[in-house]
Amino acid sequence: MARPRTFDEAQVLRAVRDQFWNKGYAATSMDDLMQATGLGKGSLYGAFGDKHQLFLKVFDAYCVSSVESVRKTLEGPDAGALERLRQYLLGVATASAAPSNRRGCLLGRGTAELAAQDAHVADRALETFQGLEAAFVHCLEQARAHGDLAAQADPRKLGAMLLAVMRGLEAVGKAGMDEASLRGMVETTFENLPAPAKRRR
């Protein structure tokens, strides 16, 4: 009996993810996935299921790691929390403007293409947006505690607004809006956050 072909699952899933990410879901065929992974249809089906199951697998993993990575990036003491958040969003602006990122993020791309017809994708995207928002809210609570935001500022409301700005950066960046414009959107948002009555030195 022939030994089943062995492969590196993480590597295969990265290739699958990049294929969907670059071309979109509908435009990707099983043939594309076979070519991208170097695996035959039987191996792919056997290990992961059909095209839809493959997409869900890489989309889920992308969503989970996006929230984890943002949480880690924002982690730290109350001092500097507001600046960490600002730097993070400036980084999103720069990344969204990069020509190499014209494909957008897989979360935005997958949601735009599939959420309307695919409840799993919509649910997972919503959960991810809420996870990002919660990370922003936590950071804003730290900033308020440290006196970098007005005492009456509402971190929950401001975190939701920052989520809208963040996803907007991604959306307009895909159309080729330049980096200075995208970073300016973040700067303006932060300039307009409720400042403490008296700034700490």
Give contact residues for its own copies (rule: CB under 8 A): 22, 24-27, 102-104, 108-109, 111-113, 115-116, 122-123, 125-126, 128-129, 154, 157-158, 160-161, 163-172, 174-177, 181-182, 184-185, 187-189, 192-194
**Shortest CB 104 distance to its own copies, Å:** 6
Residue 5 vs 151, nearer CB to its own copies: 151
Residue 4 vs 195, nearer CB to its own copies: 195
Q: Are 25 and 113 in contact (CB under 8 A)?
A: yes
What does the alpha-carbon distance between residue 48 and residue 39 come to, in Å, rounded to a whole number? 12
**Shortest CB 28 distance to its own copies, Å:** 8
Q: List Cβ neighbours of 8 (8 Å cut-off, separation of 6 or more).
A: none
**Shortest CB 77 distance to its own copies, Å:** 25
**Shortest CB 18 distance to its own copies, Å:** 13
**Shortest CB 60 distance to its own copies, Å:** 14
Residue 47 vs 179, nearer CB to its own copies: 179
SS3 at position 105: coil
What does the alpha-carbon distance between residue 108 and residue 144 come to, in Å, rounded to a whole number? 30
What does the alpha-carbon distance between residue 18 and residue 85 come to, in Å, rounded to a whole number? 28
What residue type is assigned to position 21 of the chain? W
SS3 at position 21: helix
What residue type is assigned to position 186 of the chain? V
What does the alpha-carbon distance between residue 71 and residue 43 come to, in Å, rounded to a whole number? 36
What does the alpha-carbon distance between residue 50 and residue 197 come to, in Å, rounded to a whole number? 58
Residue 86 vs 109, nearer CB to its own copies: 109
- Structure letter (DSSP) for residue 79: T
Residue 77 vs 176, nearer CB to its own copies: 176
**Shortest CB 157 distance to its own copies, Å:** 4
Residue 61 vs 177, nearer CB to its own copies: 177
From the CA atom positions of the chain, what is the Rg in Å?
20
